[in-house]
Amino acid sequence: MLEKFKDSVASRLGLERSDLCAGDRTLGEVLGMSPVATNSIDLLEAVAAAIAENDLEDRVDIPAFTLDHTVDELMAEIERQLSDNERLPV
C-alpha cells in the first residue's frame, strides 16, 4: 500500500517514486525538484490526492508537516496511521 501511495504522491508532483526515496530528502528539497509544485499547499495536495486515489479517506488523516520534515518522516506517519487503523473496515 505504501508503495502505491508513494507512486501517487510522486505522480502528482511530476516526479518518479525514486525521487522521493533517494536519501533522506526533505519535503523542501522535493518541492525544489518538482516541475509542477510551488509551495507547501501543492505538497499537501499531492498527499491528499494520494489518500483519495488509494481510498484511504477513513484510515489516514492528511498529516501536518513542514518543509523541513523528510519524506521518510512523512511516510512513517502514513504507515503509522495505516497500522493504527488497520482494524477499520475498508
Partner 1 sequence: MRIIAQLVKEIQRNNYSISDVLRIQQIYHESRRWSVYDVIGSAGRIHADERDKAALWHASRAELTTQPAGIRLAVDGVKLAQNLAKSNPLGANIAHIAAAWSARYWLEEEAHHEVAYGMLLEMVGLDPVAHDDVTMHRGFFPTDNYARVCMLQACVEIEATVTYGEMAKTSHEPVIKEVFHRIMKDEVQHREYFVSFAKALLDAGVYPIKDVLSMAYTWIRPNGGEMFGSARPRQTSREGFVNWWEHVVMDGSTGVALRDDQIRAEPMQAKKVRSVLAAVQHATGVPVKSIAELKYAYLASLTTNDVDRIRHAVAQGVQKKNGLEAELVNLH
* Interface positions with partner 1 (CB under 8 A): 28, 38-41, 44-45, 48-49, 51-52, 57-58, 61-69, 87-89
CB of 38 to partner 1, least distance (A): 7
Main-chain dihedrals φ then ψ at residue 54, nearest 5 degrees: -100, 15
CB of 58 to partner 1, least distance (A): 6
Sign of CA dihedral 32, 76, 83, 88: negative
Cβ nearer to partner 1, comparing 2 with 62:
62
- Of 41, 40, 50, 38, nearest in space to 10 by CA: 50
